[in-house]
Amino acid sequence: MNAPLLLGSKSVPTTHALSLTLLALAAAGTFALVMQLFCVLRHCGLSSRVRPAPEPLGEPVGISLLKPLCGVDDDLEANLEAFAHLGYPKYEVVLGVKDTRDPAYAVAKAAVARWPHLMRLALQHGEPGLNPKVNQLITLAAVARHDILVISDSNTRVGPDYLEEIAHTFEDPNVGCVSNPVSGIGERTLGSLMDNLYQSTTAGAGQISAKQLADQDIVVGKSMALRREDVDALGGFYSVRNVLAEDYVIGRWLTRRMGKRAVVARAPVYNVSQKKSVMTFFKRYLRWSIIHHTCIPTPLYLGQALINPLPLALFGALLSPSALALGVLGAVTLVKLVHDVAVFQLMRPGQSTPWMTLPAVLLKDVLLFVAWANGLFARSVDWRGNKLRVMAGSRLVPPASVLSKGVVAPESEPIEELLAG
């Protein structure tokens, strides 16, 4: 008769202890968000000050912007037009498509016809690897004319001083890579609002705070500038043809193999997302979580749940409801909303903040937590129509169903090389 009561009495303290643990972790994550907000405030405050003009460049270094295209992104024509008016004296934009059947081909042809002195179009040669973006980069780098290669995603826009800052940064011979903090603009749907919130409040803010708090420069492939000689020394883009997180791996190789510095520039790069659905947003970050977990140790991946403290506080309050638990949940929710709205405004000056931002923050955090949990176990992704398995170091192999038919996995860098650099 007493056994159920005994079992129940033992379970209560265990549940309460787990609840307190989750609430404590949520509180720690909330403190990290406060520090991140402070870093963004400092970064944006410094950026807005009137700074002395940089020393004029001598002979300007030539810059080739490499833009792999796949399908017609939101407002693609306007995105390409933004790169036609950068004001830098010596640059080109090389547009790439896999083949003429891609809907982006017509848009690219129109851009080349409009700015023939600046833009060129290159069709992909062959299919050397499993990463479709890198397959295009191999062709684009081969036809590029200049010594600085800037990988620039097709769904981005930049400010007029974008290339000038990159050129000045490369005046330091120890710099091997320049990336830019990411923000997001253009939302017209809930899915795109959440996408732009993530780009601004997690990706871009994370780059800024990592630099200020730990002097770590996080490379993000939306904008990634490299010296051609360094790319060639690493084996060219061909060396990462079977790697999904090519930006992470290249940045790691540059710093660890070659002793070069990776630098996060001051000017932001704007991810343009207008009409994404909520499901498209969710699928993207399901894939991203898998990639991220294969690139970093599991303890670090687990620790990164702290930067999304709201689900932790919610689970803690549900496990053992009390005035304390509800108070912590309320405080965490308030700080998270203030953090995301403030960072969203700071990272995209001149842009309005939609009224849907507050509920979008809450839904975004729940979906990101589900994606993070999925990343603990899942290892298959569907990207640009390709079903692939992601191994350690984000190395790609065909799915087991393909391998079981006797297809040999493509050669790639050993996993140890990808992780150790």
In a domain, 400, yes or no: yes
In a domain, 292, yes or no: yes
Q: What's the whole-model pTM score?
A: 0.87
Q: Parallel, antiparallel, or unpaired for β 182-185 and 261-264? A: unpaired
In order, the DSSP letters of 36-85 are HHHHHHHHHHHHHS--PPPPPPSSPPPEEEEEE--S--TTHHHHHHHTT-
Pair 217, 228: CB distance under 8 Å: no
Is pLDDT of 252 > 60?
yes
If you average pLDDT over residues 198-214, what whole number do you get? Answer: 93
pLDDT value of residue 400: 54
Number of domains in the chain: 1
Looking at 228-375, list the stretches that DSSP marks H as alpha helix, in order from N- to C-terminal side.
Answer: 228-233, 246-256, 278-295, 298-303, 309-319, 323-346, 357-375
Which CATH number belongs to the domain containing residue 328 in this structure?
Answer: 3.90.550.10
- What is the DSSP secondary structure assignment for residue 409, as one 8-state letter? P
Please report, as a single letter, which amino acid is at residue 384. Answer: R
Q: CA 64, CA 92: separation in Å to the nearest integer?
A: 5
In order, the DSSP letters of 273-315 are --S--HHHHHHHHHHHHHHHHHHS-HHHHHHGGGGSHHHHHHH
Pair 39, 201: CB distance under 8 Å: no
Is pLDDT of 277 > 70?
yes
**Reported confidence tier of residue 1, pLDDT bands at 50, 70, 90:** very low
Residue 321 lies in domain? 22-48+62-421
In a domain, 3, yes or no: no
In a domain, 5, yes or no: no
Q: CA 286, CA 178: separation in Å to the nearest integer?
A: 27
In a domain, 325, yes or no: yes
pLDDT value of residue 416: 40
In a domain, 56, yes or no: no
Q: CA 167, CA 65: separation in Å to the nearest integer?
A: 13
In a domain, 13, yes or no: no
Q: CA 203, CA 222: separation in Å to the nearest integer?
A: 11
Please report, as a single letter, which amino acid is at residue 295. Answer: C
If you average pLDDT over residues 217-243, what whole number do you get? Answer: 92
Dump pLDDT digits (tens) for 325-334: 999 999 999 9
**Reported confidence tier of residue 403, pLDDT bands at 50, 70, 90:** very low
pLDDT value of residue 217: 78
If you average pLDDT over residues 199-220, what whole number do you get? Answer: 90
